[in-house]
């Protein structure tokens, strides 16, 4: 265990080949139990990364972030002197999808000599830490998620109508129920939520901000220091993450595969 309620490092597993179903089931159970799990010294190729991820379900193709050109299932995050990190905010991935990813598998290819850690927050604990009156207020509350808030500027003007048709705004419960554990988790982030249904953007901002701050409690977090060939696997429902952008102008290169999930339910 790394944090009080979240994070565990697993050893004794070689991810380079197809794993027995029993081992995959053990890894998945550890993921369910700890929300994020870590592996060290896994010298796997991009193809092996994709193969490992596929053992947990169908993989997504991200429409806005460039991929590894040989493997479109892998989103490539390549940062250096000319491109700083921008994922330094608490979030679940792709909540603007009708069915956000359920699992993310991130591999370190090149890491800076200092900095570049990733933090993870337990969103079960974030919900449970709310007072009773706030939890009562959240019953039935729905948030409207929109890719435009983060990726809108990356879409050429002549393609915006097409992308909007493919990815309309979606509504998700502010408190989801995990399909495996049946535990409630807080499903709110500042990056992709446009507003709370029934409220204006101006009225929504204080609500979003109050709930998003729950992920910022250090007591709900763990922190992972990357090394080459390290891998993090997290439950995109039960955990949020924050990639520290504290290494400029050094180089940080990562690749991520995401496993397609289900529509969140209250």
Q: Which residues are catalytic?
A: 91, 93, 241, 256
Rounded to the nearest angstrom, the gap between the alpha carbon of residue 4 and the centroid of all alpha carbons in its chain is 20
Nearest CA to 64 out of 48, 87, 43 is that of 87
Q: What does the alpha-carbon distance between residue 174 and residue 140 come to, in Å, rounded to a whole number?
A: 8
The three-point CA angle 120-54-257 to 5° equals 40
State the residue for tokens 């997290």: 234
DSSP string, 168-224: --EEEESEEE-TTT--EEE---TTTEEEETTS-HHHHHHHHHHHHGGGG-GGGEEEE
Nearest CA to 31 out of 83, 103, 126 is that of 103
DSSP string, 199-210: S-HHHHHHHHHH
Strands laid side by side in the 239-243 sheet: 221-224, 118-122, 239-243
């Amino acid at each position: 265990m790394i944090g009080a309620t979240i994070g565990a490092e697993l050893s004794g597993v070689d991810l380079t080949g197809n794993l027995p179903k029993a081992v995959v089931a053990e890894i998945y159970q550890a993921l369910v139990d700890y929300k994020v799990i870590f592996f060290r010294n896994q010298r796997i190729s991009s193809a092996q990364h994709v193969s490992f991820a596929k053992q947990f379900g169908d993989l997504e193709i991200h429409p806005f972030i460039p991929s590894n050109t040989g493997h479109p299932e892998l989103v490539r995050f390549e940062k250096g002197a000319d491109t700083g990190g921008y994922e330094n905010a608490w979030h679940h991935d792709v909540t603007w999808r009708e069915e956000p990813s359920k699992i993310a598998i991130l591999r370190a290819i090149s890491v800076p000599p200092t900095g570049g850690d990733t933090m993870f927050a337990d969103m079960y604990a974030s919900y449970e830490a709310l007072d009773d009156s706030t939890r009562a207020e959240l019953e039935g509350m729905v948030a409207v998620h929109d890719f435009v808030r983060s990726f809108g500027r990356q879409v050429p003007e002549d393609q915006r109508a097409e992308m909007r048709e493919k990815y309309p705004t979606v509504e998700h419960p502010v408190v989801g129920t995990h399909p495996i554990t049946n535990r409630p988790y807080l499903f709110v982030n500042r990056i992709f939520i446009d507003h709370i249904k029934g409220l204006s953007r101006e009225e929504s901002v204080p609500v979003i901000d109050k709930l998003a701050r729950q992920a910022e409690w250090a007591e709900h977090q763990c922190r992972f220091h990357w090394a080459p060939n390290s891998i993090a696997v997290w439950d995109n429902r039960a955990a949020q993450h924050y990639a520290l952008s504290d290494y400029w102008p050094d180089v940080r290169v990562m690749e991520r595969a995401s496993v397609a999930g289900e529509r969140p339910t209250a």
